[in-house]
Copies of this chain bind each other. A is one copy, B any other.
Amino acid sequence: MIDSSVGSAIPLAGDMDNSIQRDNPIQRLPAGSHVALRTWLRLLTCHRLMEGRLRNQLRTGFETTLPRFDLMAQLDRYPEGLKMRDLSRLLMVTGGNITGLTDRLVEEGLIERRDDPTDRRAYYVCLTAKGKALFEQMAVHHEEWVIAMFDCMEEGELAQLSELLGRLKRRLADRIDS
């Protein structure tokens, strides 16, 4: 019942001393752990491994971060702009977080705030020309990186995984409870 590679410690970060290290510590999983728990731990690990790689690639390739990229990706899909609350919902993070991210991206000249004439509480956030140009560059690489991460899976496996995650996502989101 040992799950020998949870926490198998790929270096997610750069090459500094205290980054996540290479060799595997001995891994113990709770004996008889339920398949649901194992699945959750595996999902967590996959997420960590993949996010870590993408983060490194975005940092070394474009000196940016995943949250910034994700925010820009949403804006790219909505050229008419999105309100803060929409960004908050789409990215599934709190409003305060969006405020900070937006502030930084505005400062970098990649996005801009535009008043909503019909609601003085709100405004639209849009990519600037500079932001759009940069995003399009990044998006190409980002997609390549994601494809490369999954190239360890057979086409059929990937399709099956995608389908199962799609179902899980839909059913989780459709719940009444939080």
A42's nearest neighbour on chain B, judged by CB, is: B165
Residue pair B18, A169 in contact (C-beta under 8 Å): no
Residue pair B20, A94 in contact (C-beta under 8 Å): yes
Q: How large is the interface on A (under 10, 10 to 19, 20 to 34, 35 or more residues)?
A: 35 or more
Residue pair A172, B46 in contact (C-beta under 8 Å): yes
Kindly state the separation between the CA atoms of A175 and B18 in the bound complex, as whole angstroms: 20
Residue pair A89, B165 in contact (C-beta under 8 Å): no
CB neighbours of A153 from chain B (8 A) = 164, 167-168, 171
Kindly state the separation between the CA atoms of A34 and B94 in the bound complex, as whole angstroms: 29
Q: How many copies does the complex hold?
A: 2
Residue pair A46, B169 in contact (C-beta under 8 Å): yes
Residue pair A178, B147 in contact (C-beta under 8 Å): no
Kindly state the separation between the CA atoms of A89 and B85 in the bound complex, as whole angstroms: 36
Q: Does A109 contact B (CB under 8 A)?
A: no
CB neighbours of A158 from chain B (8 A) = 35-36, 39
Q: Does A128 contact B (CB under 8 A)?
A: no
CB neighbours of A164 from chain B (8 A) = 153, 157, 160-161, 164
| Chain A 7-20 near chain B by CB (<8 Å), digits 1 or 0 | 11111110001111
Residues of A within 8 A of B (CB): 3, 5-13, 17-21, 23-25, 27-30, 33-40, 42-50, 52-53, 56, 77-78, 82, 85-86, 88-96, 139, 143, 146-147, 149-150, 152-153, 157-162, 164-173, 175, 178
